[in-house]
Amino acid sequence: MIGFIVISGYCVARSTIKSTARLPFSLTHYAAMRVTRIYPALIACAVLAGVVELALFNSPNRIPMWQAGIDVQHFISNLLGLSGFKGQFGSYAPTYTVAYELFYYAIWGVALALLPQNLGCLAVMTVMPTLFFVLPGNFQFAIVLSALWIMGAALATYEDAIVRIVRRYPLWLVWSVCLIIFIRGNSEFARLQISLWEFPGSLCTIPCGLLFAVVIASHLARSGPQLALDKWLGEISYPLFLAHGPVIIAVGSLLKALGPSLGFSISFGALMLILMSSSLAAAQAILVLVERPVMSWRRSLRSEGAPSAAPTFALGLYRTRRY
């Protein structure tokens, strides 16, 4: 969750920086790019989750995981990308942060429509604390996590200066130090029984986000050729994020139903391999059937004069994912 929010801020900010370098910022075009990037796969996987939950409704074989909100109202709110504020729908529960991202996109777009690009991060940082006390309580967690999104956006805005600083240190050293700090910090959170889901415990996500931003910056500073695997990981990351919940529930419930007839128990390692392989297969199907056609259509708009969304990094590896 923390890493993907930082990545989102970086990718969206970098995309707007590239597009505004050629043409003035257009809030309408920005909104169209965000909607066409988020919603096609979101809707496809929401429908998948709906089919899974309908097929398993009241079934004793449904595995006891993500069981809340299996009703029409929650399905519609998840279909619209509002699950983070309106409640999760069963197996689609892991996608709740999409609502937060849409929230950040909206504020970022308004900030850029009113201010120069280099003031966007400052504007969002100024607005968010005020919104914490103005908006309903179900927005508070999203507002705290906005600090992570702003870190990613700041990394894109001031990338050259940040990369010059990070380039002085070996990649392995930066990643090792960040990993050690992260592990020690998590152990302290557990010892102190800090809940990251409630304020003020949620503030602990901020140093975690900072560590992740440093990891991304150190990877951006590295040199070397782009690997084909990097591109594929960048393309499949969003479909995998959306599809893994419904797939885990569907495949896990199927294996539970088949358990007595199999005549043997499946080990944890084998189960993980099956669930991961199934999730990757479903994500690949969404990528081929939904994501790539929509992205191809978006690219065709450039030939008609629309500003382009820049090639972006995600986790410093996914250099061709387009936001």
Q: Which residues contact 102 (CB under 8 A, 6 or more apart)?
A: 34, 38, 81
Is pLDDT of 110 > 70?
yes
pTM here?
Answer: 0.84
Mean local confidence (pLDDT), 220-235: 77
Task: Report how far apart, in Å, the C-alpha atoms of 224 and of each of 217, 232, 311 are.
Answer: 15, 17, 17
Q: How far apart are CA 241 and CA 64, in angstroms?
A: 20
Q: How far apart are CA 219 and CA 314, in angstroms?
A: 10
Mean local confidence (pLDDT), 27-37: 91
Q: Work out the angle at residue 121's Cα, subtended by the Cα atoms of residues 232 and 158, and round it to the nearest 5 degrees.
A: 65
Is pLDDT of 304 > 60?
no
pLDDT confidence band for 312 (50 / 70 / 90) = very low
Spell out the domain ranges in the chain: 2-322
Residue with tokens 């415990």: 201
- Rounded to 10 deg, the angle between the 292-302 and 27-55 helix axes is 170
Is pLDDT of 313 > 80?
no
Is pLDDT of 117 > 80?
no
Mean local confidence (pLDDT), 239-249: 96
Q: How far apart are CA 160 and CA 220, in angstroms?
A: 10
Is pLDDT of 306 > 90?
no
Q: How far apart are CA 140 and CA 142, in angstroms?
A: 5
Is pLDDT of 283 > 70?
yes
Nearest to 78 by CA among 90, 89, 69: 89
pLDDT score, position 262:
72
pLDDT score, position 302:
59
Is pLDDT of 243 > 90?
yes
Is pLDDT of 303 > 70?
no
Is pLDDT of 66 > 50?
yes
Q: How far apart are CA 313 and CA 8, in angstroms?
A: 10
Q: How far apart are CA 124 and CA 131, in angstroms?
A: 10
Mean local confidence (pLDDT), 195-208: 85
pLDDT digits (tens, 9 = 90+) for 122-174: 888 888 888 988 999 889 999 999 999 999 999 998 898 988 888 888 888 88
